[in-house]
Amino acid sequence: MPNRVAAMQIINYPSAAEWPALQQRPAQAEAAQVAERVRQIFDDVRQRGDEALRHYAAELDGATLTQLRVTPEEFAAAAAQVPENLQAAIRQARANIERFHAAQREGELRLETMPGVECWRRAVPVQRVGLYIPGGTAPLFSTLLMLGVPARLAGCPDIVLCTPPARDGSVNPVILFTAELLGITTIIKAGGAQAVAALTGGTESVPPVDKIFGPGNRYVTAAKQLAAQRGVAIDMPAGPSEVLVIADDSATPAFVAADLLSQAEHGPDSQVVLLSTSTQLLANVVREVERQVAELPRREVAALALRESRAVLLRTQEEMLLFSNQYAPEHLILAVDNAEELAEGVTSAGSVFLGHLTPEAAGDYASGTNHTLPTNGYARSYSGVSLDSFVKKITFQRISAEGLRQLGPVVETLAEAEGLRAHARAVTVRLESIDK
């Protein structure tokens, strides 16, 4: 049985058969109830539109709203409330994120697959995107940078931003400053599943979008999955936050503890996992977690998250990597001396942080990579947000007379073999025409 120290479970040498239980996320236990509640909210927003959004703002955010859209006057007042040093930091983060994402642009791929048969592929921006920016106790203006920068680089013509209002009906001034910096002017005061519902079907104030981006709690994640079922694309299931740290004897316990707590403080349903082959390191890290959590302003939130978190002692580095790939963490920190070598074996993770001087927080804010990443094991099949997330890749082709003479008989043969005579005929009538 696990011991509990500093509200973090310590598990010594679990068998492989025990791993799936240790890899279970806390949010999954109530998935059915959450999904049902989200369906109810979607139906309500579809039926009542803006009225439903105002109702949820009052019920869930404690805000009485006369209108849902941020006004020009609110934008104008925001910059004066943001300290100069924070403005400078946001601009630097934007520059780094922009530099990394701009490098992801691909030129148009154009080639002849055979003489006279030309094919090409072009990236076209998603026309209207919805960005969900969490608010509440920790307004994530950094997420706005992570989504707004690539959306702008991709050339998306319409960007709609939803974020929860404060109790006084305002939007965090740093979010407004960041939005203005990115040229985003359509901001809706709506949070949670109701915001995703509005972006999915539209309301009087909220235009429906083609694709929804952004992390959130279990309700937002469930809402995005329901949106996908109703025909609106999503970036990925994202949220609640999680980190897995692989650490060896070379790791600094204070660094590892700080990394664990940087995710635990996101919310009570966040999860942190520590893997090590060192009994001493595990003990030292757990002690550091206990010491550091007491100093945090959000210590109560972090402490709740730690109750569903684990420190696992395994026998080898290979076992730790296998456990991690099965868990598929949103964030993976390799706090080991041979981080580059170990990273070669990573097959499932949202974003990877190598070595002792690479905190996950750097990726959260300003190194340049994107922090909107798959959680809950979805890193096994999803990538994090990138420039590609905001474009569609459309293929084109053009065939000359000579090309059709060469390719046509191949298509006719294949179509006839599948019993699709009309497909074959679409080629045959053209060949007959050009050979007259």
Output the six-digit token pair for 317: 């580095």
Phi, psi at 202, each rounded to 5°: 80, 155
Q: Whole-angstrom Cα distance, residue 248 to residue 274? A: 11
Alpha helices in 103-244 (DSSP H): 141-154, 173-181, 192-201, 218-229
Q: Is 3 annotated as a binding residue?
A: no
Options 101, 242, 331, 412, the catalytic residue: 331
For 144, the token pair is: 């706005």
288, 308, 330, 412: the active-site residue = 330
Q: Are strands 128-132 and 117-125 parallel, antiparallel or unpaired?
A: unpaired
What does the block give as tokens for 192? 């949670």
Measured CA distances, 260 to 247, 323, 330, 334 (Å): 12, 17, 13, 13
Half-sphere exposure of 328 (CA within 13 A, CB side): 19
Query: Whole-angstrom Cα distance, residue 398 to residue 304?
Result: 60
Q: Is 259 annotated as a binding residue?
A: no
| Nearest residue to 274 via CA among 315, 243, 245 | 245
Residue pair 428/422 in contact by the 8 Å Cβ criterion: no
Q: Is 331 a catalytic residue?
A: yes
Q: What is the DSSP string of 127-143?
A: SEEEEE---TTS--HHH
The answer to the question of whether 74 is labelled as a binding residue is no
Residue 364, annotated ligand binder? yes
101 is annotated as contributing to ligand binding = no
Residues at the annotated binding site for substrate?
241, 263, 266, 331, 364, 418, 423
Residues at the annotated binding site?
132, 194, 217, 241, 263, 266, 331, 364, 418, 423
Residues at the annotated binding site for NAD(+)?
132, 194, 217
Tell me which residues are annotated as active site. Answer: 330-331
Residues at the annotated binding site for Zn(2+)?
263, 266, 364, 423
